[in-house]
Structure 1
Amino acid sequence: MTSASSRLTIEERITALPQELQDQILETTLIASIKLQNVVLITPNYKPPWQLSVNRATRRVVAEVYYGTFVFQVIVLNLGALRNRLATANRWLLSLPATQRFTISHFRLDRCRGAISSKSEFWKRLALHDNRRLFLSCYTLPLNSRCIEVDARLENSDGSVTTRWVNWDGAHALLEKKNASRDREAMDAA
């Protein structure tokens, strides 16, 4: 039994659907076709996914998923490169409509360097100063400051080092925890 509907192509079948269903199918297809990756590197050569430029109706939905779920990352090899990297990030952020920009939930500054292995207080203070400068530099970005994260390298009690992504509040919480631990150790030693 071959009916007229069984000879229709998939495109013809979708076109025959109500417009709302067609839009939902298109949005779902566009979202599913975005390359799945956890981290999007923001460089001078960054190009947004083509799915954001299909049409206005789908851009809103696709942008919400893209900017809200992906991690956007700028690699900062040293503080000297910070100004150039932040300028690139700033240009990219300003190119986005405010609604998309404030959908971003994770914007990371990755310093790509090994943890400071010295246990000297001088190096620990230097690392904290480095983190503070990094965060303060980021306040020029047109972005919700709570989504800005830096890589904090933490020394565990067994001497191993782990990396955690922390925002400004998280960095302060870690510092307070470290200070409380140091105070307890000083009291125990006394």
Structure 2
Amino acid sequence: MVRTLNNMAELRGSSFGRPWPRHGLKLLFWFANDYIVFNDDNQMFANPDPKEGDFGFHHFQNRRECENNVCKRLLPYDGYPFYEVGNLHLPTSKSLPKYVRKYNTGNIDTSNMDRLIISMRSDRIVDKVYVTQHEDLRSFDPVNTYCISRGLLMIICGHSLSNFLEQAGYSTHDYCTIL
């Protein structure tokens, strides 16, 4: 079961995107402020279409992982395709803002472990937003996978990057260093 984060306190309690040099919180800030647009019905509209591959978006299979003959998907299936973004090693991720990419080491370490996954309807309305992290080179960590509510995304839009990072639990030293 994927837990939904509805406010800054829950995001801070999740430990997603921390500690520095992880990029997940910066990726989430970019997504809320620059990638999605809320329409008059508070639906999230993807701009541009993730199918086009901008910013490193690519199809996410949500494949079953099996252990001891028990198989489950990372995310609940809602009938819509999934798209993943956040792999800073992809050439197309260079179009992400510099503040998202800045401290990526290029190595296999914590600077590239965070991902954002969306499920999207055919009319480019984003149905669900998830954040997760790698637990190893092949798998995402189901314990550290969260759904981000529309309300939390709207809250994030009301912050500057430095204020958001502080509210989300980066220490003053960490977020001053990364800006």
Please give the TM-score of this superposition, normalised by the length of structure 1: 0.26
Higher Cα Rg, which structure: 1
Q: Which has the higher helix share?
A: 1
Q: Which has the higher strand share?
A: 2
